[in-house]
Structure formats: C-alpha cells, structure tokens
Amino acid sequence: MDANNNKPKSSNLFNGDCKRTRISHVTIMDLPTVIMVEILSRLPIKPIFKCKTVCKLWYHLLTSEVLSFKTNFPCMLLSDEYYSTTWLLELKADYDYYSLPDNRPIRLSSKFHLPRLKAPIHIIDSCNGFICLLTGSANNKNHSIYINNPLLGEYFKLKLPEWKKGTCRTDYKFCFSEASGKYKVLRLVFSIASMPKVSELEVYTLGVDEKWRNLGQVNLGLKPVWESFGNINVNGAIHWLGNSPGTTSIHSFNVGTEEVKSLPVPRDVGTDPLHWMLTELGNCLYLADTGYNGYVDIWWMKEYGIAQSWTKDRILTDSIPFNIHYSNLRPIIIWKDGEILMQRCCGTELASYNPKEKKFRKVNVYGSGNAATRYIPSFYSLKTVMGKTFQVSNLYPKTKIV
C-alpha cells in the first residue's frame, strides 16, 4: 500500500485553492434567538440605534416582544426645555469621567426616538425604559401627554380629560405597580378656589382604562406640589413633601392600592422646610437639609415607614470642585464603587460624591440642559403594555429600511 495514501490530505483552504472549496458562512442572524438576546443586551446604546436601521430583519428582531429586557447600562436623560433638546448619557462602568474629555451623550431626535412635536418637550419621569412626556404648558388646556420608548421609537398619546372651568394648573406623575405589573399616569388638578392645599387626583392605567378615573380630593399640604411631587418612587409608592399648619409631613401614594398616607420626617431636622429636598436613592427615602452654610445634612430612611430608622450624615460643601456652582446638588443614582452621582438642580453640571472619602469630583459631560432624569433603556414594547385596543405609533416605518 502506498504510504502516501496514509498521509492526511492538506486543506485546500490553506493551499490557496479557494475556488474548489465551499465554505459555510455563519452570520449573526444564524444564531439562536437566546444568544442574540444576550449579545444585544450587552451592546451600548449607540450601536443598538444603528443596528435598527440596517435591515427589516434586524429591525423586527430588535422590536419583537421576545426582546423585552433592560440593557445593562444605567443612563441619564438630559433635557433642555428652552431649546427642546434631549440627550441620553450612558453611565459606563469602565469610562474615566474625571480625567478624560467630556463624554458625549446621544442626542435623541424626532426622526428615530421621540414623537414629532413642534412644542418643547418636558420629561415627567421614566419607568422601565418608558418615558412620560409633556408638551405645552400644564397651566392651560393646550398641552398633551405622551408615553414613549425612545429605544424602539414607539409612542402613545393619552386622551386627556376635559379642562374644567376654574382649573388653573395640572401636574403629572408616571409610575409602575410591581404588584399588578401596570403602568399608571397620575394627574393632579388644581382649581383657583382650592390652591394650593387641595387638588383632585385622577388616574389613568395604560392598556386598561379607556378614560381617567377621579379618586377625589387629596390633601397635599400647603407647599406647592410641583416643587416636590416628582421622581420619588420608593416601596411601591410615590412621595412628596407637604406643609400643614405647625408641621411638615411626607405624603405617599401607593401605586397598587391607590391610597394616600403620611410618613414621619426626621425628628431632629433643623431648618425651615423651604430648605428641604426630598428624593430617592438606592430605594430609600433621602431628605437633604440645605439651609446651612458650609455643609448639608442628609437623612436616610433605612427601614421604610419606621421613624427611628432615619440616619443622618453630613456633607461638607467646601469639598465641591471650584468649577461646580453649589446650588442644591440633587442625588441621581448610586453608581461606580458606591459613589453618589449628583446634579445641580438648575443645570446639568454633575458631580460624584464619595461617602468614604467625603469628597466630590466633577463629572465631565458634553451637552446642555436644565434637568436630568434617571433612565434604564429597555426593549419592552409599548404595544405589549397597551394591548390591541389602543393604537401605538412608531417612527421607524416612516424611514427607509431595506
């Protein structure tokens, strides 16, 4: 037997003879859906936006109900209502925000991300990848409310109740009930006769209610509600500060049961309530007392609803970088190495506070704006929430996708 017959035949691929070799090409679209989901969930936001416009197949894959997950990157929405611009800033764990040049956020446009609106847009809040948008002024009837997923380019316009005679202002809140899995929009209606103590509370449940439900009058305290009725969602309830004669309380609205209750404030909090700022951090209520020179007292409610669990910490404001103007720094999120990312209330200047070192560092961000909102991008489709009864609009079919 010829010894040469026992020799393994060399591959034509490595001999340069490619014409006679049929190579099986495997593309990313040949992978199982589960693997595709895992890959997409790890992509930064910018590549995801680009992938949607590659072809119809990729678009339908990215917008299908199968990909109803959140991305791994916490983000912030920076908005400038005067210029009607909205930016999406990714908070990347491996990016040096302190020494590297400004991190450029993604500008969201009406071509791919936001509803096509002529009036300025105000971001009310975000929940699980959806954002609630107000266009126009809430002080009169000429305004609209939209629910939008900028990652998918989907939006839904809510039909608002009739503007009643004597109404002088409305205020909105967007929230999610973990118990029922439903999204709700709250609407506070102020009349000239009742301002600012009492208002009517109306609720609209996405995908369920055909019209708004009136829950009656709610005592919101003497402090104007639009200064504190905001993005404070803890333990399945939203919270705000309210002043009554001789006392100040924290009011809560349980999103699931739709009940209004009161919570105690820290017993030893010192200054006038006008200097207080209520917010949420790490799923805990956080109360900042900014009425002092040189420092800020912050209080954490470690156990929800327990008055004795309020714990005080003191931040020295002389450690704030000289190029950040101190004006009620508001905590946004706990991020890298347990540091607290904070935003100046009247702008998008950002600083990171290290509780262990008790020091601030400036966070370099490119972009302008006067408001910041926490945001976790998600592929969860608004069509799934609204169901077949309600018509959800989509920006992408109007663009050319081959």
Mind listing the pLDDT tens digit for each residue in 138-185? Answer: 888 889 999 999 888 889 999 999 888 888 888 898 999 888 889 999
Q: How confident is the model over 122-136, as a mean pLDDT? A: 89
Q: Is the distance from CB of 111 to CB of 395 less than 8 angstroms?
A: yes
Q: Is the distance from CB of 252 to CB of 263 less than 8 angstroms?
A: yes
Which stretch of DSSP H or E encloses residue 171? strand 167-177
- Please tell me the distance from the alpha carbon of residue 92 to that of residue 250, in angstroms, as a whole number: 34
- Please tell me the distance from the alpha carbon of residue 300 to that of residue 14, in angstroms, as a whole number: 66
Tens of pLDDT along 80-119?
766 667 878 777 666 666 666 656 778 888 877 888 887 7
pLDDT recorded at residue 322: 56
Which pTM was predicted? 0.79
Q: Is the distance from CB of 265 to CB of 249 less than 8 angstroms?
A: yes
Taking alpha carbons only, the member of 89, 80, 156, 163 closest to residue 123 is 80
